[in-house]
Amino acid sequence: MKLRFAPSPTGLIHVGNLRQALVNWLYARARGGRFLLRIDDTDSERSTAEYAAAIEEDLAWLGLTWDEKAVQSQRLDRYAAAAKCLKQADRLYACYETPEELGLKRKVALSAGRPPIYDRAALALSDDEKAALEAEGRRPHWRFKLEHSAIAWEDLIRGSVAFEGENLSDPVLIREDGRPLYTLTSVVDDIELAITHILRGEDHVANTAVQVQLFAALGGAVPTFGHLSLIAGAAGETLSKRLGTLSVAALRAQGLEAMTLTCYLARLGTPDPVEALQSLDDLVAGFDLSRFGRATPKFDPKDLEHLNARILHGMAFEAAVARLPEGFDATLWEAVRPNLTRLSEAQVWQTICRGPVAPVIADAAFARQAAELLPPEPWDETTWQAWTGAVKEASGHKGKALFLPLRQALTGLDHGPELKALLPLIGRARALARLSGESA
């Protein structure tokens, strides 16, 4: 089994692209198969090396490693050879209509209530007529001649799918400038690189019908197909790579964990709850393609916030330590982990525990009284309860009036991890200084 992810390096990949990459990767890994990264960069006008590098960087960050890599711009000779083969079999024919002429044909067909299918007028051109058109400066584009027969396959997500060849328009495989188009290049690569399963968006369903015949015409085995529903933004908007909408790079820059995105997207479009898993191995073990439905799922960034926190709350120190500030130890991690929503927030709590912090003193007399009651060290998680019990008895303060002023003095904030865990990390010397109003 071998699957692939084939992005075009014409922009940053967004969560819709990532979902397709992830599903292919998970399906391959769950079944002991291989995963190919194919860079579809034949659009030389829009493809850039920078975007290609960004795609690889995003996938590497997410842990979606590939077993093989192919670059289409390095395989142009293979597409030329395939086109030659199709011409020799009379399955690829030259057409000379301009975009304006084709647009007029479409309008006429639609106004007459007919589908805008190419009328194959080019097949009736004589050699002299072709020569005359080329003498005018026209260069042909090349269409694949479909067989007018039934096309059917069993889709892994949609079930039985069927088309009639006469209801499809002969697709253009080669542009006027000689550039091969996706319909051709993808099939050539899938055959020669031995792709067995293709999981892609439902916007490719009609294209798959065309490619089924193209596989046969080139002597290749037809892969098993599955067409995922496309995801929309929270308001139902179409995701756009060119606009950078919900790009992986942007979400990464916001401080989201890689596992937040993969856990969310692995279940988006299924009835199953999203789980805060800690590894891709866990995702692979629970992956089931049959759970994906045909409804359009919505990607809501707000859902990521809670999930990101849940993943951090379950993250072991060993998994986080490489990205934590220098000197951040396991004891501090266990103390602050339950309150993190972004890993970057760990720096704040390291500073609060190790200083300096500007304390907030609302009642200086109360703070002095609390400082006088601080017990001697060593401290542990029982110290906070013992100390606040003594302060409560001496001052008469209780509830919020007791706990909030102490938190503000010790941390400079009115919220955060439990102080029974933080107080031993702050230590008696810092606590005394902060209760006195000193930055320490």
Residue 287 and residue 150 share a domain: yes
Q: Would you say 233 and 5 are in contact if contact means Cβ atoms under 8 Å apart?
A: no
Supply 377's token pair. 């060290």
Structural domain that includes position 60: 1-93+145-314
Supply 142's token pair. 């090349």
**Across-strand partners of 124?**
none
**Residue 440: inside a domain, yes or no?**
no
For residues 81 and 51, what is the distance between their CA atoms, to the nearest angstrom? 28
**Residue 398: inside a domain, yes or no?**
yes
Residue 229 and residue 267 share a domain: yes
Residue 232 and residue 129 share a domain: no
pLDDT of residue 240: 64
Residue 156 and residue 86 share a domain: yes
3-state secondary structure of 349: helix
**Residue 325: inside a domain, yes or no?**
no
Q: Would you say 158 and 166 are in contact if contact means Cβ atoms under 8 Å apart?
A: no
Number of domains forming the structure of the chain: 3
| Rounded (10°) angle between helices 419-426 and 428-435 | 100
Q: Would you say 412 and 359 are in contact if contact means Cβ atoms under 8 Å apart?
A: yes
pTM summary value: 0.91
Query: In this structure, what CATH number is given to the domain that contains residue 84?
Result: 3.40.50.620
**Residue 389: inside a domain, yes or no?**
yes
For residues 158 and 417, what is the distance between their CA atoms, to the nearest angstrom? 48
For residues 418 and 399, what is the distance between their CA atoms, to the nearest angstrom? 15
Residue 280 and residue 338 share a domain: no
For residues 20 and 346, what is the distance between their CA atoms, to the nearest angstrom? 33
Amino acid (one-letter) located at 439: S
Residue 204 and residue 132 share a domain: no
Helix (H) or strand (E) segment spanning residue 403: helix 400-411
For residues 2 and 28, what is the distance between their CA atoms, to the nearest angstrom? 7
Q: Could you read off the pLDDT tens digit of each residue along the chain, which spans 440 residues? A: 999 999 999 999 999 999 999 999 999 999 999 999 999 999 989 999 999 999 999 999 999 999 999 999 999 999 999 999 999 999 999 999 999 999 999 999 999 999 999 999 999 999 999 999 999 999 999 999 999 999 999 999 999 999 999 999 999 999 999 999 999 999 999 999 999 999 999 999 999 999 999 999 999 999 999 999 999 888 888 766 555 668 999 999 999 999 999 999 999 999 999 999 999 999 999 999 999 999 999 999 999 999 999 999 999 999 999 999 999 999 999 999 999 999 999 999 999 999 899 999 999 999 999 999 999 999 999 999 999 999 999 999 999 999 999 999 999 999 999 999 999 999 999 999 999 999 98
Residue 88 and residue 58 share a domain: yes
For residues 351 and 339, what is the distance between their CA atoms, to the nearest angstrom? 15
| Among 139, 168, 199, residue at a domain's last position | 139
Supply 437's token pair. 């109003």
Q: Would you say 311 and 255 are in contact if contact means Cβ atoms under 8 Å apart?
A: no
Residue 195 and residue 152 share a domain: yes
**Residue 235: inside a domain, yes or no?**
yes
pLDDT of residue 245: 62
pLDDT of residue 232: 87
For residues 19 and 7, what is the distance between their CA atoms, to the nearest angstrom? 12
Helix (H) or strand (E) segment spanning residue 23: helix 15-30
Integer angstrom CA distances of residue 269 from 241, 372, 426: 20, 59, 46
Residue 58 and residue 121 share a domain: no
pLDDT of residue 105: 94
Residue with the two structure tokens 């940053």: 12
**Residue 409: inside a domain, yes or no?**
yes
| Ordered DSSP codes for 43-63 | -TTT--HHHHHHHHHHHHHHT
For the stretch 314-372, pLDDT in tens is: 999 999 999 999 999 999 999 999 999 999 999 999 999 998 999 999 999 999 999 99
Task: 78-81: list long-range contacts, CB under 8 Å, 24+ apart.
Answer: 78/188, 78/189, 78/192, 79/180, 79/184, 79/185, 79/188, 80/180
